[in-house]
Amino acid sequence: MDIQDIKNRFGIIGNSPLLNRAIDVARQVAPTDISVLITGESGSGKEVFSHIIHQLSARKHGSFIAVNCGAIPEGTIDSELFGHEKGSFTGAHESRKGYFEVVDGGTIFLDEVAELPLGTQARLLRVLETGEYLRVGSSKVQKTNVRVIAATNVDVYDAVRAGKFREDLYYRLNTVPLKTPSLRERKEDIYLLFRKFIADFTDKYRSPSVQLDAEAQQILTNYGWPGNVRQLKNVAEQIAVLEKDRNITGQSILNYIPHETSSSLPMKLEKNQKEDFSERDILYKVLFDMKRDMLELKKLVAEIIQHGGNAAHLSANPQVLNQLYQDIELPSSVAELPAQPTLTIHQPAPDHHHFDILQHEEEAEESLSLIDKEADLIKKALKKHRGKRKLAAQELGISERTLYRKIKELHLN
């Protein structure tokens, strides 16, 4: 049986290479009797593939049962799978056969197998390796001949590393891995599936046919579909039942898609909408702020030295401080940042009364280290007061004890 025949038999729609690959793996592994681990997101059709494997195997005339391991309470999962004896626990009024006994000679599909408790995992491993198990409350060994197909929507190997899943069971189940592709991985199949679902539901509810315009088809294709085929089918049923206008537009489709998961849809940005800060923008802004702070510091130091070390001159002349900000041209917004950071300084006409530190600040790169600046200020203060540390400390606005410590830390003589 070729891939197209399998699609027709099991109602599979799509031509995605990933989908065809998964079907081909299922077709090849079906005649064997080895275990299969089907992985894939919730709603991607893992149970359909378990039916394909069973129906194409020699066990197709035997029983098939699907068990959702995550839906059975931990206290009763062993009894459900392996059965129990009368009186083995409270409420066990009579003996009961488990699934492995009922499906003897057939196939059991264990969905959400990663949810099994560790004790149950050990029992399952023994069934896979020897075909033997014990009923709960019994010491008599039972035999079974069951093919196990397991499925999970989580990364089982991560669970193994976290100690939540047995490594030996993982390798025993994962003899042949089979991955079902998510709907967003087979975008070319989304509209085909939607047309099939919408036709089925309009026929079921005897409602008029539905047509999608180009925008609606694009939104349908670009949406992420976290619920996969199950979610797409649900949306198609809602539209078939609720929509009065049978010509579906893009806005109509958006009414059926949850807003919190619609981030993968094409988005139209308004001109005045605030743009998100990218990592590059934030970095450039920080660099500009640092550069501006260092220029301010250099000018403040120059002004202090020029006026005889009297910082009161600056506080008494706010125009001097205002002038510091007028000389620097920065972008008005982060959105205007260039691809490479640049900074334009408008310098006034040369003033020969200023020190060289202002005249040549853009001609030579200076150290921006705060430690170097601190050492330089201490040296200048000591030189000004001819080595008198008490006066130098007062000039710097620090205690004499702090000045001694700084001189020692910075190795100043």
Q: 359 falls in which pLDDT band (50, 70, 90)? A: very low
pLDDT at 260 over 60: no
DSSP letters spanning 354-413: S-HHHHTTTTS-----HHHHHHHHHHHHHHHTTT-HHHHHHHHTS-HHHHHHHHHHTT--
pLDDT at 257 over 70: yes
Q: How far is CA 262 from CA 210, 234, 266, in A?
A: 23, 16, 9
DSSP letters spanning 93-136: -S-B--HHHHTTTSEEEEETGGGS-HHHHHHHHHHHHHSEEE-B
Which has the closest alpha carbon to 84: 100, 73, 70, 69?
100
Q: Is residue 15 a contact partner of residue 42, using CB atoms and an 8 Å limit?
A: no
pLDDT at 346 over 90: no
Over the stretch 72-94, which tens digit does the pLDDT of each residue have? 998 899 999 999 998 888 888 88
**Tokens 């030996």 — which residue?**
168
Name the DSSP letter for residue 140. Answer: S
Q: Is residue 37 a contact partner of residue 74, using CB atoms and an 8 Å limit?
A: no
Q: Is residue 68 a contact partner of residue 161, using CB atoms and an 8 Å limit?
A: no
Q: 389 falls in which pLDDT band (50, 70, 90)? A: confident
Mean pLDDT value of segment 346-350: 47
Q: What is the pLDDT of residue 328?
A: 45
Question: For all residues of the chain together, what is the average pLDDT?
Answer: 81
d(CA 281, CA 185): 32
Q: Is residue 128 a contact partner of residue 35, using CB atoms and an 8 Å limit?
A: yes
pLDDT at 282 over 70: no
- Which of 10-19, 56-65, 158-167, 356-365 has the lowest average pLDDT? 356-365
Tokens of 262: 């619609």
Q: What is the pLDDT of residue 167?
A: 94
- Which of 105-109, 117-121, 307-311 has the lowest average pLDDT? 307-311
d(CA 162, CA 84): 31
- Which of 137-141, 323-327, 407-411 has the lowest average pLDDT? 323-327
Q: Is residue 236 a contact partner of residue 197, using CB atoms and an 8 Å limit?
A: yes
pLDDT at 248 over 70: yes
Q: What is the pLDDT of residue 289?
A: 74
Q: Mean pLDDT: which of 83-92, 119-128, 278-287 is highest?
A: 119-128
Give the residue with greater pLDDT, 351 vs 15. Answer: 15
- Which of 106-115, 179-188, 302-311, 357-366 has the lowest average pLDDT? 357-366
272 φ/ψ sector (left φ>0, alpha ψ -120 to 50, else beta): alpha
Tokens of 401: 């004890």
Q: 309 falls in which pLDDT band (50, 70, 90)? A: low
Q: 395 falls in which pLDDT band (50, 70, 90)? A: confident
Residue 249: other Cβ atoms inside 10 A: 15
Q: 360 falls in which pLDDT band (50, 70, 90)? A: very low
d(CA 359, CA 382): 25
Q: 54 falls in which pLDDT band (50, 70, 90)? A: very high
Q: 173 falls in which pLDDT band (50, 70, 90)? A: very high
pLDDT at 333 over 50: no
Q: 135 falls in which pLDDT band (50, 70, 90)? A: very high
CA angle 156, 161, 165 (to 5 degrees): 50
d(CA 133, CA 171): 20
Tokens of 292: 């501006």
Q: 306 falls in which pLDDT band (50, 70, 90)? A: low
Q: 410 falls in which pLDDT band (50, 70, 90)? A: confident
Q: DSSP 3-state assignment of 244?
A: coil
Q: Is residue 4 a contact partner of residue 20, using CB atoms and an 8 Å limit?
A: no
Q: What is the pLDDT of residue 322?
A: 52
